[in-house]
Structure 1
Amino acid sequence: MTNSHANPLPSPTEDRRSGTPASLTRDQAIDEADHPLTPAQAFDALYAFCAPALVRQAYLLTGRHERARESVEQAFQLAWQRWPEVARDRDPAGWVRATAYDCALSPWHRFRRRGRTPDLPSDPADRALQRALMLLPPSYRRTLVLYDGVGLDLPETAAETEASTPAAANRLMHAREALAARLPELSEPAELHRRLVRLASTERLGAGEPEGVRTTGERRTRFWTRSAIAFTATIIGATTLTLRTAPTHYLPPVSPGHAVQGVPVQGMLGPLAPQAPKPRAELRKEAAGGPERLAPELE
């Protein structure tokens, strides 16, 4: 299966061998080689080149303006945090696109209170297409947007969706059949591509400034780093306190007391009988307070 779209959905196109945007001329490439960009400048250039198209693609995936912008900004914040890895990647635009798609289709969005209602376009035909797209499973929707919207070929689509080529082809065919069942006029791939481009282009979606994205990403990184340090310090402090206060040997528990039945009552001592002082007086008269004792004598 080949993709022969002549006008793909606005998307960053890059030279796969060098990672240089195809829009750069030879003189610009030579100038960049002589004067290398700083990491911030390279990031800003990548953001300006990719972000507008990625926001429109994320809108096709989510049907929500705010979530599309948030997904793209979050993807670029992750790219800035891992910029050495992204800068050395063969396809930096593809790295950011895959991350933005993951953020847009994250299952955690279902727990959000805001943005549950899709932002429907004003045109009835576009509204019907968006509703049909939202009824597709996320994996089918992603495959359809990449192949029929962005214009990637089938192996690239399979690689970006982390699926085998036959699995990606199966998802694409099922997605097309589901759309054609609801909208028969989209049975032709060329018409489907044209309608996807129109749906993404009619919505006025913009991305934030690259400097703001970098600043937000750095602030978020500092926050999570400090939180991790504070959490680690708390764990260490609690462990130290436990080691200092915990007993060093086993102390058997004291069994609770309970009443014993059947024991006779202890007798009480009463006053002496009248004849008792006489024997005691006789004993006190003896020499050592008792009867005579045998003592050894030297012969």
Structure 2
Amino acid sequence: MVSPHLSFLFMALFLSIFLILMAPSSNAQSPPSPGYYPSSKFGSIGFYQGFRNLWGPQHQRVDQSSLTIWLDSTSGSGFKSLRPFRSGYFGAAIKLHPDYTAGVITSFYLSNNEAHPGNHDEVDIEFLGTTPGKPYTLQTNVYIRGSGDGRIIGREMKFHLWFDPTKDFHNYAILWSPNGIIFFVDDVPIRRYPRKSDSTYPLRPMWAYGSIWDASSWATEDGKYKADYRYQPFVGRYSNFKLSGCSAYAPASCRPVSASPSSSGGLSQQQYSAMQWVQKHFLAYDYCKDSNRDHSLTPECWG
């Protein structure tokens, strides 16, 4: 006969195991602390201090330091930094449009397309529109010397986020240095693209851009869902702009900014662990792991 005391212990043990099994998975939690917050190292600027309208001026509004751009059936809108850079930290707080946004791209990126049409470099943060009930996809991408010459070689890594990006502003950033490119979400590194060779790395000066536009042919589930202008306008909101680094006109002595406490610019172990956690739980696509890709065109995937 089991004593009442043992019965109580068995019941307590069973309850503990049950609560552990029923606890929410780590996917519902925030990433571990990266321990270092690059955005706090760089001051914010007003929109007109660093940018100008590039296209769609009638679909762009500046209120103090914040920017609103929108897409409707007549046009989208885009903006561009006043200066080109050869390295730096480029960031903005962005709030995305809710509900039906299929086919709509909201972006913040680096490019030299206007200086080198058909043979340009580009580093992208793009939010791929979605349908109600499905999460936004944040696509990061790197193009090197030519995405418009008939051999489009993207280096896409796609993520879902651990928060709803339509509810509030969140900080998104690209740190581009001579050694690597790091993508950040709220100071958490989500991807590092190292410089493994000059042929697979953007080395020419680039400008910072942002835009909202119709990419119905591919943006949402490979073009399955298109932009539906019954839901227009589609609005993107930007604030807390940061442009810090070496402009194309800076002296050769200009020192590239760092992503970590180390002056080398690499990630600390704590930052790297946070990045691994994000990639374990929220990575939706990695071009290096796509067996349908021709990886002779992306030699950096070989190790």
TM-score using structure 1 length: 0.22
- Higher Rg: 1
More helix by share: 1
TM-score using structure 2 length: 0.22
More strand by share: 2
